[in-house]
Amino acid sequence: MSWGAASYSRRTHPRTRAPMMAQPSLLLLLAAAAVLLLSLCDAHNKLAKKSDDVVNGPLLTSKLGAKRTLIVGPNDEFKTIQSAIDAVPDGNSEWVVVHLRAGVYTEKVVIPETKPFIFVRGNGKGRTSISYESASPHNTESATFAVHADNVIVFGISFRNAARAGLPNNPEIRTVATMVSGDKVAFYHCAFYSPHHTLFDSVGRHYYESCYIQGNIDFIFGGGQSIFQCAEIFVKPDRRTPILGSITAQDRKEESGSSGFVFLKGKVYGVGEVYLGRANEAYSRVVFADTYLSKTVNPAGWTNYNFSGSTEHVMLGEFNCTGPGAERSQRVPWSRQLDQAEAAKFLTVDFINGKDWLPAFYY
């Protein structure tokens, strides 16, 4: 295992050009282009945009102001992640960093609700991984990594449920990579892998920035109130069942409920076909906005598979999406194509009150 760090430098090579006299027609053309650019920028500024911060481990550490760090690694005080989590006192009220050395950690990890204010910091999702083979009829029991506490931040880690899709040959067996049921939980630059029910976004306000999520059947599901910013969603076929999978199955049960899944400025691609989501409850709410949809997305877009209720009140919609999978002509009639006014409340972290608790975000 290598513990070295890489660095790079960037150089520019200016070129010298002979001065040229601008022609009047050229000046007019440049002025028109400038006006167009300003108008496009103004429109863009109404949508979510990235802060000037480069989100990385040191930035998040400084923003959180953590004063204590527990290091996990083969030659460190804590050999397992769970032992470091257990060392955080119950009722903790100050941010504690649990830093993971690069490597693969083969264990099941649970952050109980009694241990808030933990920052789990990896060395990057390509270098730090938590992997465990776990299959169960129950989502909670199957999860490789579970967050039940409020105020948890995670950076630079891959989470994998290593159970094989064909064993056992039962589509009802769950293989959750990560379960999130705490409030004010954020994942930055993480990855989630599982044969299907990958991310159980159960309840609470959550933020996922620049994360990779892979699966097939209902692989982002639950009743969370969550934003997926710049998500990379990769669809894999599930050989255990002939049905097309759905990326999302959201569990909003009442009109007054605040939950919902919002996908901003990401991309959907993969193998085979998939629906963007399915009506899972009477008020299911999912929005894909400014997202690239590849031909992996079935032309119908959405489904009510296995849902016997009315679709009158579900809010499964799209705004300003692009790509071959964004073609609207064959969408199911009860799905929504949102206009700017309808989409506005979903396009910033205000949807999750993020300005009150996120250390870094798009705004």
Rounded to whole angstroms, the Cα distance separating 60 from 220 reads 25
Q: Tokens representing 108?
A: 């099941």
**Is it the case that residue 167 has pLDDT exceeding 90?**
no
pLDDT single digits (tens) 17-69: 444 444 545 444 444 444 444 433 343 444 445 445 567 888 999 999 999 99
- What DSSP string describes 26-47? HHHHHHHHHHHHHHHHHHHHTS
Q: What is the pTM of this model?
A: 0.85
Nearest to 181 by CA among 148, 151, 227: 148
Q: Tell me the backbone φ, ψ of residue 340, rounded to 5 degrees.
A: -55, -45
Q: Average pLDDT of the chain?
A: 86
- Residue 329: what pLDDT? 97
Which pLDDT tens digit goes with each residue over 329-362?
999 999 999 999 999 999 999 999 999 999 999 7
Residue 188 tokens, joined: 């930055």
The pLDDT > 70 percentage for the chain reads: 81
Residue 219 CA to residue 53 CA, distance in Å, equals 30
Collect all residues with Cβ–Cβ distance below 8 Å to 16 and sequence separation of at least 6. Answer: none
Q: What is the pLDDT of residues 311-320, one digit of tens each?
A: 999 999 999 9
The one-letter amino acid at 284: S
What is the pLDDT at residue 36?
Answer: 42
In angstroms, the CA 311 to CA 205 distance is 25
Residue 290 reports pLDDT greater than 70: yes
CA dist 74 and 218 (Å) reads 36
Rg of the chain over Cα atoms, rounded to whole angstroms, equals 22
List, in order of start, the domains of the chain with CATH numbers: 68-356 (2.160.20.10)
**What does 46-109 look like in DSSP terms, one character per residue?**
TS--B-SS---HHHHHHHHT--EEEEESTTSSBSSHHHHHHHSPTT--S-EEEEEPSEEEES-E
Residue pair 130/107 in contact (Cβ under 8 Å)? The answer is yes
Phi/psi at 351 (nearest 5 deg)?
A: -60, -30
**Catalytic residue positions?**
218
Measured CA angle at 79 (ends 73, 85), to 5 deg: 100
